[in-house]
Structure 1
Amino acid sequence: MTPDDLPAARRVSFAAFLVGDGLPRRVGEPEPEPPDEDGVRRWIAKMGHLLAADPAGCLVAEEDGEMAGCAISQNRGGLWYLSVFAVRPGLQGRGVGKRLMDAVLAHADGRPGMLSATAHPGATRRYRLAGFTLHPMMRMVGRVDRSRLPAIDGLRDGRPGDLAWMDELDERLRGAGHGPDHVHLRENAPLIVSDDPGRRPGYVYLDEVWDRPMLLAAGDPETAGRLLWEALARTKGETIVNRITVANHWAVDVGLAARLDIRQQGYLVLRGMSDPAPYLAETHFL
């Protein structure tokens, strides 16, 4: 992949994800919609960051001069993760996905790995055949009942000097720090941290565009819950808490206390590692 491929990769991935996101939709839920111009810009900026950080893990497949599929993966220390994996609708089942998956797994070079997947049966079949374990995820959605918000202390806004201990926390939870991803996230999203000497460390990024917590890691469930409550307190309307696995039921408890509803999501897909906890993964930086 080159930077010039990013607009086409965006079109292929969004087309594939619209199909995948529409599969588990329940009656009454809105149809998935393509992103607006600002959403396209943000996606290309994220993928541009990943392409610059680890270009060897970013690949495209072509057919007749057009992009048939793309995969954006990254090595971070001893961990590999897959940020984007998409095959153009109409070309699935013809071996494109297998060739892309084989190529990015070769780049992983045996590292433990993780990715966030929709419930698309073709994708989940491919991940399982590649040796990954599928961990079903939940999400909490709705408007926070503000009368339920507890008083939270010991938190503050994050600073550049926090990134070193945040990477150490990541390494304990998922086997490797986020490294340059933390730099990119802090430049583009508010960061709240817990570094009270009397408590375990933790952090959460806030997605101001979608009004939701985005990536959360903590030293224990109590700290994780306090960070999630603070993130929910800063929401203004409808919100969503994504990628809650069975190992992270503390997040379900917070969501229920805030009067959010539980819904099913796709899978956190793991190989060679345990389900990180207390931890809520982000879509593209895991």
Structure 2
Amino acid sequence: MSDVRIRPMVPADVPVAERLCAEAFVDLDRRMLPGSWPAPEPRSASRADTWSERTAHLLATDPGGCWVAEVGDEMAGFATSTVREKLRTLATYAVLPGLQGAGIGTPLLDAALHHGRGCLRGMLSSSSDVRAVRRYRQAGFSLHPQMFLRGTVDRSTIPVVEKVREGSASDIDLMDSLDRRARGAAHGVDHPFMLSRGRLIVSDSSTGSGYAYVDDDGGPALLAADNRLTASRLLWTVLADGPAATTVPHVTAANEWAIDVALAARLDLHTAGYLALRQMAPPTPYLHNGALL
């Protein structure tokens, strides 16, 4: 498409990008989810607000990594990316359903990834969409299949869990250290943002250290630890404190400890998408965040 214009994102673009993203992702779910599953629903108002707040945060911290594609005067796609120390991540990447495959995605992705051109490592969470997967592989990413576990927690399986406490801003140095060990880079400025919008639990004892953020639905939003025992302890705490029906997302084969915990809780195992990595092994013990990685 010859009339595509790629330009830097500005704050006024965030609400438009949210609506575009919601439309693109629900279309993707309709195409990818098994027919026996409930039909996907549009993003709720609260989720839209959370998405917009996170995107505004990324635009503030990494304006050079946030780009918009326009056709005429209308937004046709966008991409947001970050640099954290020597790790670049692609947070969100979407093109309007009717314009996918029209030559918009490649220059848009190139602009976002150029932001981290000096980084040693790269990381993104991909859907199963064949066009996106092909683009990421051609950009040099290794593709590691992701799993998720969903269902109703059997409360009788939950063990007694100790050495887990509520976290606070005083734990950021500890969390950054755990991030570096797991994925080679701290989350840095993302921790205050996540702290302001969700619950944090921490385990820091003689047997190991770790942390987990809990999402709005009561499931794990991000989890990192220095050993599997501590990671399992944190995940059991999230399941114990959360709702009966829950999801444990973003599990790679390197994190079988999470599969073991969730299966023991009687959740069902499924596959969806890929963790795409460049010059790094799958982080472990670690459950990545879909956007903040």
**TM-score of the alignment, normalized to the shorter chain, above 0.5:** yes
Q: Distance in 2 between matches of 1:14 and 1:133?
A: 27
Which residue, 132, 144, 149 being the options, matches 1:140?
149
Give the TM-score taking structure 1 as reference length. Answer: 0.97
| 1:42-81 superposed Cα distances (whole Å, 9 cap, x missing partner) | 1111111111111110000101110011000001111110
The aligned counterpart of 1:204 is 212
Structure 1 runs (4+) deviating above 4 angstroms are none
Residue 152 in 1 paired to residue 161 in 2?
A: yes
* 2:88 maps to which of 80, 83, 90: 80
Partner of 1:2: 10
> Does the Cα contact within 8 Å between 1:23 and 1:119 map onto a contact in 2?
no
| Residues 4-42 of structure 1, C-alpha deviations (whole Å, 9 max, x = no match) | 000111122122212222333123211121112222111
Q: How does 1:1-286 map to 2 (within 5 A)?
A: 1-111=9-119, 112-196=121-205, 198-207=206-215, 209-286=216-293
Q: Distance in 1 between matches of 2:37 and 2:217?
A: 17
Q: Is the 8 A contact 1:135 1:269 kept in 2?
A: yes
CA offsets 1:229-273 (integer angstroms, 9 cap, x no match): 000001122100000001001100001100110011111111111
Structure 1 residues 148 and 267, CA, compared in 2 at 3 Å: closer, same or farther?
Answer: same
**Matches of 2:33 and 2:213, distance apart in 1:** 27
Paired residue total: 284
Inter-partner Cα distance in structure 2 for 1:210 and 1:268: 22
> How far did residue 83 of structure 1 move?
0.7
Rounded Cα–Cα distance in structure 1 between residues aligned with 2:92 and 2:164: 33
Alpha-carbon distance in 1 for matches of 2:35, 2:95: 27
Structure 1: state its 5+ residue gaps.
none
1:68/1:87 contact within 8 Å kept: yes
Q: Look up the equivalent residue of 1:18 and give its one-letter code.
A: V
Say if 2:164 and 2:202, in contact at 8 Å, map to a contact too.
yes
What runs of 5+ residues in structure 2 fail to find an aligned partner?
1-8
Q: Percent identity?
A: 47
Relative to the length of structure 2, the TM-score reads 0.95
